[in-house]
Structure 1
Amino acid sequence: MLGGGFPPETIERGLVRGADVIAIDGGSTDSGPFYLGAATPKTTRAQVEWDLRILLKAAADARIPLIVGSCGTGGTDAGVDWIAGITEEILAAEGLALTVAAIYSEQKASALVEHLAAGAIHPLPPHGDLEATTLESCTRIVGMMGHEPIEAALRGGAQVVLAGRATDTAVAAAYPLMRDMPAGPTWHAAKIVECGGQCTTDPRAGGVLATIDSDGFTIEPLDPAASCTPASVAAHMLYETADPFRMREPAGTIDVTGATYRAVDERTVRVEGSAFDPAPQHTIKLEGARISGYETMSFTAIRDPHILANIEEWAALLRQVLGEWVTRTLYLEPDAYALDIRLYGHNAVLGEHDPATGPAREVAVMLLVHASDQATATAIATVANPLMLHLPTADMAYLPSTAFPFSPAETERGPAYEFVLNHVVDVEGPTDLFRTEYRKAVADA
Structure 2
Amino acid sequence: MNVKIKVLTPTGAIGTGFPRDAFEKALLECPDVIAMDAGSTDSGPHYLGTGTTKSSASILRAELRVFMQAREKLGIPLIIGSCGTCGSDAGVDLMRGLCEEVAAELGQTVRIAGIYSEQPASSVKTALLEKRIKPLQLDFIDDALVDRCSRIVALMGVEPFIHALQEGADIILAGRSTDTAVMASLPIMRGGHPGAAWHAGKILECGASCTTTPAQAVVMATIDETGFTIEAIGEGARLTPRSVMAHMLYENSNPYVLVEPGGVLDVEGAVYTAIDERTVRVEGSIWKPSEDYTVKLEGAAPCGFQSVVMSIVRDTEYLERFDEWLACLDSVMRQRIEKHLNIGSGDYDLQFRAIGKNAALGDFESRSATPVEIGVMALATSATAERTKDIVALLNPYLLHFPLPGDKDLPTHAFPFSPASMDRGVVYEFVLSHVMVVANPLAPFRFDMKTIEAA
TM-score, length-normalised on structure 1?
0.97
Aligned to 1:359: 370
- Once residues 246 and 321 of structure 1 are traced to their aligned partners in structure 2, the CA distance between those partners, rounded to angstroms, is 49
Aligned to 2:64: 52
Aligned to 2:309: 298
Aligned to 2:8: none
- Once residues 167 and 189 of structure 1 are traced to their aligned partners in structure 2, the CA distance between those partners, rounded to angstroms, is 13
- Once residues 358 and 150 of structure 1 are traced to their aligned partners in structure 2, the CA distance between those partners, rounded to angstroms, is 51
Aligned counterpart for 1:18 among listed residues 12, 30, 39: 30
Aligned to 1:116: 128
- Once residues 443 and 296 of structure 1 are traced to their aligned partners in structure 2, the CA distance between those partners, rounded to angstroms, is 49
**Does the Cα contact within 8 Å between 1:122 and 1:129 map onto a contact in 2?**
no
Give the RMSD, CA atoms, in angstroms.
1.2
Is residue 311 of structure 1 aligned with residue 322 of structure 2?
yes
The amino acid of 2:398's aligned partner reads: L
Aligned to 1:384: 395
Residues 128-178 of structure 1: per-residue CA shift (max 9 Å, x gap): 352111111100000100011111101101100000000001100111111
Aligned to 1:432: 443
- Once residues 95 and 164 of structure 1 are traced to their aligned partners in structure 2, the CA distance between those partners, rounded to angstroms, is 26
Residues 229-272 of structure 1: per-residue CA shift (max 9 Å, x gap): 11111111111112111111111111111110001112100011
Aligned to 2:332: 321
The amino acid of 2:345's aligned partner reads: P
1:356, CA displacement in angstroms? 3.2
**SS, match of residue 432 in structure 2:** coil
**Structure 1 residues 120 and 352 mapped into 2: Cα distance closer, same or farther (>3 Å)?**
closer
Question: What count of residue pairs does the alignment treat as equivalent?
Answer: 443
**SS, match of residue 25 in structure 1:** strand
- Once residues 327 and 263 of structure 1 are traced to their aligned partners in structure 2, the CA distance between those partners, rounded to angstroms, is 65
- Once residues 335 and 367 of structure 1 are traced to their aligned partners in structure 2, the CA distance between those partners, rounded to angstroms, is 17
**Does the Cα contact within 8 Å between 1:285 and 1:424 map onto a contact in 2?**
yes
Residues 36-66 of structure 1: per-residue CA shift (max 9 Å, x gap): 1110101111221121111111111111100
- Once residues 366 and 129 of structure 1 are traced to their aligned partners in structure 2, the CA distance between those partners, rounded to angstroms, is 30
Aligned to 1:398: 409
- Once residues 242 and 356 of structure 1 are traced to their aligned partners in structure 2, the CA distance between those partners, rounded to angstroms, is 25
- Once residues 450 and 222 of structure 2 are traced to their aligned partners in structure 1, the CA distance between those partners, rounded to angstroms, is 30
Aligned to 1:68: 80
Aligned to 2:381: 370
1:328, CA displacement in angstroms? 2.1
- Once residues 164 and 350 of structure 1 are traced to their aligned partners in structure 2, the CA distance between those partners, rounded to angstroms, is 32
Aligned counterpart for 2:263 among listed residues 240, 244, 252: 252
**SS, match of residue 420 in structure 1:** strand
Gap regions ≥5 residues in structure 1: none
**Structure 1 stretches (4+) deviating beyond 2 angstroms?**
126-130, 203-207, 349-360
**SS, match of residue 292 in structure 2:** coil
1:293, CA displacement in angstroms? 1.2
**Does the Cα contact within 8 Å between 2:213 and 2:239 map onto a contact in 1?**
no
Aligned to 2:276: 265
Aligned to 1:162: 173
**Does the Cα contact within 8 Å between 2:353 and 2:376 map onto a contact in 1?**
yes
**Does the Cα contact within 8 Å between 1:260 and 1:271 map onto a contact in 2?**
yes
**Does the Cα contact within 8 Å between 1:8 and 1:54 map onto a contact in 2?**
no
**Structure 1 residues 206 and 92 mapped into 2: Cα distance closer, same or farther (>3 Å)?**
farther
Gap regions ≥5 residues in structure 2: 1-12
- Once residues 406 and 202 of structure 1 are traced to their aligned partners in structure 2, the CA distance between those partners, rounded to angstroms, is 38
- Once residues 28 and 370 of structure 2 are traced to their aligned partners in structure 1, the CA distance between those partners, rounded to angstroms, is 57
Is residue 2 of structure 1 aligned with residue 2 of structure 2?
no
Residues 91-130 of structure 1: per-residue CA shift (max 9 Å, x gap): 1111111110000000000111111111111112x43352
**Structure 1 residues 199 and 40 mapped into 2: Cα distance closer, same or farther (>3 Å)?**
same
Q: Higher mean Cα deviation, 65-74 or 371-380?
A: 371-380
- Once residues 49 and 140 of structure 2 are traced to their aligned partners in structure 1, the CA distance between those partners, rounded to angstroms, is 22
**Structure 1 residues 326 and 146 mapped into 2: Cα distance closer, same or farther (>3 Å)?**
same
1:349, CA displacement in angstroms? 2.2
Residues 380-413 of structure 1: per-residue CA shift (max 9 Å, x gap): 0110111011111122221111111111111011
Is residue 106 of structure 1 aligned with residue 113 of structure 2?
no
**SS, match of residue 422 in structure 1:** strand
- Once residues 161 and 269 of structure 2 are traced to their aligned partners in structure 1, the CA distance between those partners, rounded to angstroms, is 29
1:216, CA displacement in angstroms? 0.8
**Does the Cα contact within 8 Å between 1:70 and 1:163 map onto a contact in 2?**
yes
Aligned counterpart for 1:143 among listed residues 138, 145, 154: 154
**SS, match of residue 421 in structure 1:** strand
Q: Which aligned pairs between 1:181-196 and structure 2 lie closer than 5 A? A: 181-196=192-207
- Once residues 430 and 269 of structure 2 are traced to their aligned partners in structure 1, the CA distance between those partners, rounded to angstroms, is 35
**Structure 1 residues 214 and 302 mapped into 2: Cα distance closer, same or farther (>3 Å)?**
same
- Once residues 250 and 365 of structure 2 are traced to their aligned partners in structure 1, the CA distance between those partners, rounded to angstroms, is 24
1:358, CA displacement in angstroms? 4.9
**Does the Cα contact within 8 Å between 1:309 and 1:358 map onto a contact in 2?**
no
Aligned to 2:5: none
**SS, match of residue 303 in structure 2:** strand
**SS, match of residue 187 in structure 1:** helix
Aligned to 1:346: 357
Q: Higher mean Cα deviation, 128-137 or 311-320?
A: 128-137
**Structure 1 residues 92 and 112 mapped into 2: Cα distance closer, same or farther (>3 Å)?**
same
**Does the Cα contact within 8 Å between 1:93 and 1:443 map onto a contact in 2?**
no
- Once residues 393 and 130 of structure 1 are traced to their aligned partners in structure 2, the CA distance between those partners, rounded to angstroms, is 44
Is residue 411 of structure 1 aligned with residue 428 of structure 2?
no
TM-score, length-normalised on structure 2?
0.95
1:21, CA displacement in angstroms? 0.1
